[in-house]
Amino acid sequence: MFSMQKTGKGTPAAASRKIHSIGGVMRGREIRGTFEADGQKYQFSYAPTSSAVANRRLELTGTFSISPARGRARPPRTGVRATLSSTQGGLGNPPSVRPELLGLTGQTSDAEAADQKDATPGEAKAPAAEAAPATTAGLPVTEATGPTGFVGVLYLRLSPLDGRALGVPLDLSSVQLNARLAPTSDLERDLQWLLSGTVAAVYGERPDERAASGYLGEINRRLKG
Amino acid sequence: VCVRKQKVYDALIIGSGASGGMAAKELTERGFEVLVLEAGPPVNPARDFSQHTWPYQDMYRGFGPPDWKEQEQWMQDTASHYSRHFYIKDSEHPYTTDPGKPFMWVRARIVGGKTLHWGRLSWRFSDLDFKAASHDGFDVDWPVDYKEIAPYYDRAEEFIGVSGNRDGLAHQPDGNFLPPMNLTCGEQLLKKGSLKTGRPAIVSRVAMLTATKPHMKGRAKCHYCGNCGEGCDVGAMFNSVVSTLPIAEATGRMTLRPNSVVRHIIVDTDTGKAKGVAFVDRVSRQEFEAFGKVVIVAASTLESTRLLLNSKSRQHPNGLGNSSGALGHYLVDHFGGIGASGHFQVLAGRDPVNEDGKASGLFIPRFRNIDEKTKHPRFLRGYGFECGAGTPSFPWMAKGIPGFGSELKKQVRRHYTTPVYMTTRAAMLSRFENFVEIDPDGVVDAWGVPVLKVHIQHSDNEREMAKDAAETSEEILRAAGAEVTSTGGKLTAPGRIIHELGTARMGDDPKKAVLNKFNQVHDVKNVFVTDGAAFVNSANQNPTLTILALTMRACEYMVDEMKRGNL
């Protein structure tokens, strides 16, 4: 029916086993998801145990495991680094913030309350988020921007993985993990709020090492349980 | 590796939505042999459309499993549990943004594309839009004027079927319409209220059949079930699957290949012209190449631009068609989220009628900055209001009615005819600093194709417009006698209205624009971009009718140029 030519770039089998990018959702302290390759469905999880900033990049370290959807769980790989390449801004319900975390923004509760006067109930200002673009007072604002912005997806580059060691016939040498933050628990909400703050403090227009350090401390406390 | 004899199609068409489908129809009817490459799966209306599925037939009553909407950002207010398969998963198709500057990118990779669930509003642009810069001095005019496009609007309306009234507004030109849908009682009241404030309100013009014509084979009149976004299985709503693609297929000159994710356009190193495309099979992940005399990029605004940016070569080091540096820039989306809503209590207790289920309503066309008299001191351009009154099949207003049991049911029934809303569809200024680029940090999709980073923000022009729209909508609603329950709001994040436009704009000057006035890439004469990427500005009207008209015109030009040997 079609007339086109297959290219000689790699064998079809190799091409179908090369994993470029996989998507999951943060649940608890883990990012869990599934993907398909070579006609098989696989489940994976990445459980970060610590976070740090290295070379002006957020870096998580944790355990990665993978298994065929209907297969036995294989031994996980520990010490897997996940370096944050980029992010996607969140929309919809922003993460709520616990009062005890407000101190991390370096603002008093009163100042925070004043800054948030334009936010709708339940819409917390993200910590150290980018300042809103210059506006004339009293004008409507755009949803989830500036002080009410937050991170929806983290795009993490995993350190090279050996598929065979993980028990799967896949090329995992350069995997990008797309971690959607869609919190359903207090822990997940805290992590989204803290990660949003970290991203703004490290990747934003006005980097703030002190703030980043505060957020990382809180993230690490939660990752350790 | 199996290598067949290389075939060269007359045209390769990337995308099967509004523009790709129309290009397939127009070109095959003129004798071209085309290959349509669609990145998503095929669609089977019998299996994939759920227009007539009732909530009680679904395990989750139409709401989907807990938290499923949260897992994909675009699902928040676009897809239902019945239509989620029309859309792609963000987790497979990433894009990136800067902190605090989100963009919502709603994508439908499937045969038919976004025509399967589009809003169907079909408005012409006028010279107030095509020649906006001459009117207010901002940015540049389109390289075309209304007179040039009008015959193609006529043909597009005739073909797809647009119901509407001839209202005689110069800046909202009339067209070639099927009979209009009736307004509900609430919409009649709102129309009167709007007129009291000096603003005409008109029946929405929608690509839904109120009558059929001989060329509309297999399509039936709308029966007002109201679930258009879940797949119209009677073909009342225009989409590629029931109209353009079947006609192209019937010619015997179209090959449609779903699951074909195009990576880049292949350029002939000797001539600098395009000779084909490289694509990967979405499912098997095998790599292919296909060849054509002409390449038509109709993958949707940002996917088309992404493809051009990813098509780097020695001749086109910054992406194909980017010698001007304009590729990726001037991104716009309409904004909404601002308006007013309430109830017409005078209508409480009235019986609903079948036509209440129509998925169309009332439109208040732009009324600011049309002439000297209507010039607004604080913003350029303008906005319209999409309005509706009454309740379609599902009584969403029930959520706001207190109580339970039989008394609640009684109250829901009583208020079936009372709700009224007005929401803004507003122009966003085309600014160079709102742009997309290939993500500089190397983020890729599931097939390893580099993704876009989107940089876009509203300016004070949009915010001033939003303030005015909030105040005006409340004024109109009160003038209509409604009880106002909600006003104001926030501007929707760019992308949420799904009218992303620009990024490969038309223009006469190859140093400033990507395309010429016929959607032809200035730098590569045998590549055309026929979707919303070509727009110079957004106007405030829904863009699909203009996309269809421009595609028809581009195809006509393409065929002529091919005959002359210019491609």
Tell whether B284 is within 8 A of chain A (Cβ): yes
Asked if B467 lies within 8 A of A140 by C-beta distance, the reply is yes
What does the alpha-carbon distance between residue B474 and residue B457 come to, in Å, rounded to a whole number?
26
- What is the structure's pLDDT at B152? 98
pLDDT (tens digit, 9 = 90+) per residue, B278-327?
A: 999 999 999 999 999 999 999 999 999 999 999 999 999 999 999 999 99
Asked if B7 lies within 8 A of A184 by C-beta distance, the reply is no
Indicate the residue of A8, A132, A153 with minimum beta-carbon distance to B94.
Answer: A153
**Residue A141: pLDDT above 60?**
yes
* Alpha carbon B467 to its chain's center: 25
Distance from CA of A53 to the nearest CA of B (A): 16
- What is the structure's pLDDT at A15? 63
Tell whether B255 is within 8 A of chain A (Cβ): yes
Q: Is B229 exposed, middle or buried (0-12, 13-18, 19+ CB in 10 A)?
A: buried
- What is the structure's pLDDT at A101? 77
How many inter-chain contacts (A to B, CB under 8 Å) are there? 218
- What is the structure's pLDDT at B220? 96
Q: Mean pLDDT over residues A135-155, rounded?
A: 88
Residue B402 has which token pair?
């207190």
Q: Where are the beta strands (DSSP E) in B78-220?
A: 96-97, 202-203
- What is the structure's pLDDT at A95? 81
Indicate the residue of B73, B99, B289 with minimum beta-carbon distance to A5.
Answer: B289
Q: Mean pLDDT over residues A48-59, rounded?
A: 97
Asked if B445 lies within 8 A of A20 by C-beta distance, the reply is yes
What does the alpha-carbon distance between residue B45 and residue B112 come to, in Å, rounded to a whole number?
11
Distances (CA, A) of B124 to B83, B151, B169, B178, B212: 28, 11, 11, 15, 21
**CB-CB neighbors (< 8 A) of B290 in chain A:** 2-5
What does the alpha-carbon distance between residue A166 and residue A169 come to, in Å, rounded to a whole number?
9
Asked if A129 lies within 8 A of B97 by C-beta distance, the reply is no
- Output A123 or B309, whichever has higher pLDDT: B309
Q: Mean pLDDT over residues B550-558, rounded?
A: 98
Mean pLDDT, chain A, integer: 82
Nearest 5 degrees, angle CA B387-CA B393-CA B398? 80
**Residue B495: pLDDT above 50?**
yes
Asked if B90 lies within 8 A of A143 by C-beta distance, the reply is no
**Residue A133: pLDDT above 60?**
no
Asked if B448 lies within 8 A of A146 by C-beta distance, the reply is no
* Residues 334 through 363 of chain B touching chain A, CB cutoff 8 Å: 335, 337-338
- What is the structure's pLDDT at A161? 96
Q: Mean pLDDT over residues B325-353, rounded?
A: 96
The three-class DSSP label of residue B424 is: strand
- What is the structure's pLDDT at B436? 98
- Output B468 or B63, whichever has higher pLDDT: B468
Which residue, B535, B22, B530, is CA-closest to B238?
Answer: B22
- What is the structure's pLDDT at B79? 74
pLDDT cut 90: percent of chain B above it: 84
Tell whether A22 is within 8 A of chain B (Cβ): yes
Instruction: Please say whether the beta carbons of B185 and B362 come within 8 A.
Output: no
- For the ranges A38-47, A128-137, B200-209, B505-514, the lowest mean pLDDT is seen at A128-137
Tell whether A21 is within 8 A of chain B (Cβ): yes
Residue type present at position A111:
A
Could you tell me whether strands A176-180 and A21-27 are parallel, antiparallel, or unpaired per DSSP bridges?
A: parallel
Mean pLDDT, chain B, integer: 94
pLDDT (tens digit, 9 = 90+) per residue, B453-485?
A: 999 999 999 999 999 999 999 999 999 999 999
pLDDT (tens digit, 9 = 90+) per residue, B400-418?
A: 889 999 999 999 999 999 9
- What is the structure's pLDDT at A119? 37
**Residue A123: pLDDT above 50?**
no
Asked if A178 lies within 8 A of B90 by C-beta distance, the reply is yes
**Residue A220: pLDDT above 60?**
yes
Alpha helix (H) residue ranges in B480-563 = 544-563
What does the alpha-carbon distance between residue B439 and residue B450 come to, in Å, rounded to a whole number?
7
Instruction: Please say whether the beta carbons of B278 and B263 come within 8 A.
Output: yes
Please write down the HEC assignment for all residues of chain A. CCCCEECCCCCHHHHHHECCEEEEEEECCEEEEEEEECCEEEEEEEEEEEEEEECCEEEEEEEEEEEECCCCCCCCEEEEEEEEEEEEECCCCCCCCCHHHHHHHCCCHHHHHHHHHHCCCCCCCCCCCCCCCCCCCCCCCECCCHHHCCEEEEEEEECCCCCCCCCCCCECCCCEEEEECCCCCHHHHHHHHHHHHHHHHHHCCCCCHHHHHHHHHHHHHHHCC
Asked if B337 lies within 8 A of A87 by C-beta distance, the reply is no
- For the ranges B66-80, B112-126, B343-357, B443-457, the lowest mean pLDDT is seen at B66-80
- What is the structure's pLDDT at B58? 75
Q: How many CB atoms lie within 10 A of CB B420?
A: 30
**CB-CB neighbors (< 8 A) of A141 in chain B:** 463, 490-491
